[in-house]
């Protein structure tokens, strides 16, 4: 299938889409022996011979990883401030991977990584509510009626949240904290933290344990593993029928 050349290059792991655009306009890219300098040109990586600075690009094999992100790590492939990023833990992976969605700096847990742009966009598409489950440790123990507000949907500054699934996971005997299991079907910025702030029980620790029906289980903090074929199939089936932006690239899945 033909796609814009900058997307083909980005998905082949050459560089980010923006850097690929610079390579094209600088005249460093050829398609079937012809130098291309226009950004609107399309190509089919399965049929066309594409080179960058004289070297042919290779179509990368699809890679799907589950990573247990530690707290204090940026969900990004790089950071201009030099802070730790998720790719620091995946240096042995040769393919150019991107996070599927985001876990904020202070959160930890399950993060999917892939070079499959189509699947990543479907999993993060706002019209498809992929379930995400967290263990949220909060100050004090919320009463049942407070949690019921989260179940029904609670008003935040960017609108009312969709209904959530909430239950007690662990309660401190001295009632100083509780860990709540909460499943949401949206992807708003810092949504879980803001939901608990709204019921006056701030989150002190947030760990994502499930995404799209896949579970972190006993994967150690800072470690990763490849998804099984069955797990990939499960993710694909969960977003079947979702249309994607044909001009989007994987880097667009990062907020």
Domain architecture of the chain: domains with CATH:
3-56 (3.10.290.10), 64-127+214-253 (3.30.70.580), 132-211 (3.30.70.1560)
Q: What is the mean pLDDT of residues 19-36?
A: 94
User: Which pLDDT belongs to residue 125?
Assistant: 80
What is the largest distance, in Å, between two alpha-carbon atoms of the chain? 73
- Do 103 and 111 touch, CB atoms closer than 8 A? yes
- Do 134 and 207 touch, CB atoms closer than 8 A? yes
Distance from C-alpha of 245 to C-alpha of 165, rounded to nearest angstrom: 30
Q: Write the CB contacts of 109 (distance below 8 Å, at least 6 apart in sequence).
A: 68, 69, 103, 134, 206, 207, 208, 209, 216
Residue of 78 and 128 predicted with greater confidence: 78
Q: Which residues are catalytic?
A: 104
Helix (H) or strand (E) holding 6: helix 5-11
Distance from C-alpha of 30 to C-alpha of 48, rounded to nearest angstrom: 10
User: Which pLDDT belongs to residue 255?
Assistant: 34
DSSP state for residue 224 in the 8-state scheme:
E
The pTM of this model reads 0.79
Residue of 27 and 16 predicted with greater confidence: 27
């Amino acid at each position: 299938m033909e796609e814009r050349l900058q997307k083909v290059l980005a998905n082949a792991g050459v560089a980010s889409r923006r850097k690929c655009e610079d390579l094209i306009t600088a005249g460093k890219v050829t398609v079937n022996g012809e130098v291309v300098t226009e950004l609107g040109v399309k190509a089919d990586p399965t049929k066309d011979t594409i080179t960058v600075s004289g070297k042919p690009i290779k179509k990368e094999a699809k890679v799907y990883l589950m990573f247990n992100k530690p707290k204090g790590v940026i969900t990004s492939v790089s950071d201009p401030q030099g802070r730790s990023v998720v790719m620091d833990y995946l240096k042995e992976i040769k393919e150019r991977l991107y996070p599927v969605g985001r876990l904020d700096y202070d959160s930890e847990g399950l993060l999917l990584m892939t070079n499959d742009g189509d699947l990543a966009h479907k999993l993060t598409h706002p019209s498809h509510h992929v379930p995400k489950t967290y263990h949220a440790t909060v100050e004090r123990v919320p009463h049942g009626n407070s949690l019921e507000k989260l179940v029904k949907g609670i008003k935040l500054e960017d609108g009312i949240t969709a209904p959530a699934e909430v239950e007690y996971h662990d309660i401190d005997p001295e009632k100083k904290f509780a860990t709540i299991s909460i499943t949401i079907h949206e992807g708003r910025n810092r949504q879980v933290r803001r939901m608990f702030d709204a019921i006056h029980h701030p989150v002190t620790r947030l760990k994502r344990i499930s995404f799209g029906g896949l579970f972190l289980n006993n994967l150690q903090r800072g470690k990763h593993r490849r998804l099984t074929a069955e797990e990939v199939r499960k993710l694909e089936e969960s977003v079947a029928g979702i249309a994607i932006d044909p001009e989007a690239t994987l880097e667009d899945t990062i907020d």
